Structure 1
């Protein structure tokens, strides 16, 4: 039995040694395989976005990285939790739809990242909705209140914006200095015109903002006539039987002094003789009417009245004087222009009758050199407004500067 036991021991040890050698030979530490890349995170470059007008867009950018921090290629799906506020397309492009807030999500598999989006319109411009270019009597409110629309940069209306209304020309007043736009982006206020007829304007701006204002215009029309007033032409002096140099002018006025058009005015000579033309005139846009007054044949004072139905007459006076010629000498000309002390030269004087009657049969014209008469010419009759040239021959004169004049 002892011999058998000695043989069994080595046999078992040999089997155990072979078993250990076989297990160890299947491992090779130098050829371990790396983990394959897998997505572990997704990020969006923007965490929040604010859009200031309807239709505004902005692009979002997202990226996926693996366990080693390297970019990982995979499809990214974009979505908005409130498309009524903002939409997002497959490429991550945001588009503002209306005011509000929404969350936009970028997702890939089980990974996701979010962006907080706010759409808050900012009014940057104004437009006239209605009420521009109206007319009304001065001092009265326009029949239609002017309406202005607030818009964002994309042209969409903006509610809740304070607009400032102010008169910029013509006087008058607005009902409210500041008005907040309604749900349709509109704001309006009454406009009472000033008391001066003609163009009037108001200016509307976005309160507290640097954007350009707009202006609305209206035309003030004169109120009902309340007086006939003297405008010009009184107290003239004119020659017998001839028209006065300036017309007789009156103005039909409202209570504020504005001229009233289309009124009928009658002109009548009441003393001193003479006539008017026309005898009846209609007031123009400025409220004035005029006539030409021709003096009679009686020397001295003359009177005229202008009347309009419903108003006291307006009186004018003038004085009739004898008609006389009025001779005026024009600028002298010399030929040659710079004579020598050895030359004779010609001086020509234009003479005009600026009077109202023809001159007598003849009249004298004298040429003076240094204040002393050197020659006199006799000229025949000269009609009103007619001219004639009078020529004198002078010299030779001593060298030096000489003063020439004609009387």
Structure 2
């Protein structure tokens, strides 16, 4: 009986020989991050405004053990903590310089923010994360509102029991400091205020004392903050004697 001898077509034979000859050198894509390092190049420690992207991009760099940039490695950006908004994009591939870019969009609460960047790896590979920090400031003045009573009873020529108080907040309801408030008594016989202009503190609050005029009945005062919502805030005093 004649033994069976497999025949190979020329193309198949060439492929088989090629694979056999380079089997020791064949390297498949490695999904692990062993031997790679990740560092923050730019954009860390920025100060921005709530609800907005930081002014500059976050830039990280992936390098090999010998310090050379590594292209086409995926990096994930992870926001953490209360009020954190996130990144756009939240994952990015490194370019030919080994760098990945993203924009950090802050949440709606002012204060410090923390996040991480890490190389995306397969399997059980553990990759050291790099930390990212930013600080968010309140937005611009959006709304002014009264804090405390807007109507009180008082005596002619005397100060009301409680000061007139307003708070200025941004569009997310965060207090806004450093905002000028203009106070006014529309009629001459409605008394006088302790100050014509004040500036809100860090808590967004500002107040004045109202000494009533000599007329009986209803007296009025107001607080204005530019063209913000709720401006002007009206206050009234009922004078019985």
**Bin of the TM-score, shorter chain as denominator length:** 0.5 to 0.7
Tell me the residue number matched to 2:87.
Answer: 174
Secondary structure of 1:135 counterpart: strand
Separation in 2 of the partners of 1:289 and 1:264? 9
**Gap change, CA 1:280 and 1:173, over 3 Å in 2:** same
**Gap change, CA 1:308 and 1:121, over 3 Å in 2:** closer
Alpha-carbon deviation of 1:291? 1.6
> TM-score of the superposition, structure 1-length normalised?
0.41
Tell me the residue number matched to 2:104.
Answer: 191
Tell me the residue number matched to 1:91.
Answer: none
Secondary structure of 2:89 counterpart: coil
Alpha-carbon deviation of 1:297? 5.8
Secondary structure of 1:189 counterpart: strand
Over alpha carbons, which structure has the higher Rg?
Answer: 1
Give the alignment of 1:341-356 within 5 angstroms.
none
Secondary structure of 1:232 counterpart: coil
Tell me the residue number matched to 1:267.
Answer: 183
Asked if 2 retains the 8 angstrom alpha-carbon contact of 1:121 and 1:158, the reply is: no
Asked if 1 retains the 8 angstrom alpha-carbon contact of 2:33 and 2:119, the reply is: no
Tell me the residue number matched to 1:316.
Answer: 235
Higher percent of residues as strand: 1
Give the alignment of 1:4-403 within 5 angstroms.
122-123=34-35, 126-150=38-62, 156=67, 159=70, 160-169=72-81, 170-208=83-121, 209-236=125-152, 241-244=157-160, 246-270=162-186, 273-296=190-213, 302-311=219-228, 312-318=231-237
CA shift digits 1:256-306 (9 cap, x unpaired): 334444432111235784432222112344443322233456677543210
* Greater RCO, 1 or 2 (C-alpha within 8 Å, sep 6+): 2
In structure 1, runs of 5+ residues without a counterpart are 1-100, 102-119, 323-407
Separation in 2 of the partners of 1:252 and 1:141? 23
**Gap change, CA 1:188 and 1:269, over 3 Å in 2:** same
Asked if 2 retains the 8 angstrom alpha-carbon contact of 1:228 and 1:253, the reply is: yes
Alpha-carbon deviation of 1:175? 1.3
Alpha-carbon deviation of 1:190? 1.7
CA shift digits 1:220-270 (9 cap, x unpaired): 344443433223353455666554454322233443334444432111235
Separation in 2 of the partners of 1:304 and 1:148? 56
Alpha-carbon deviation of 1:320? 5.9
Separation in 2 of the partners of 1:232 and 1:171? 32
> TM-score of the superposition, structure 2-length normalised?
0.63
CA shift digits 1:294-329 (9 cap, x unpaired): 34566775432101233431112345688xxxxxxx
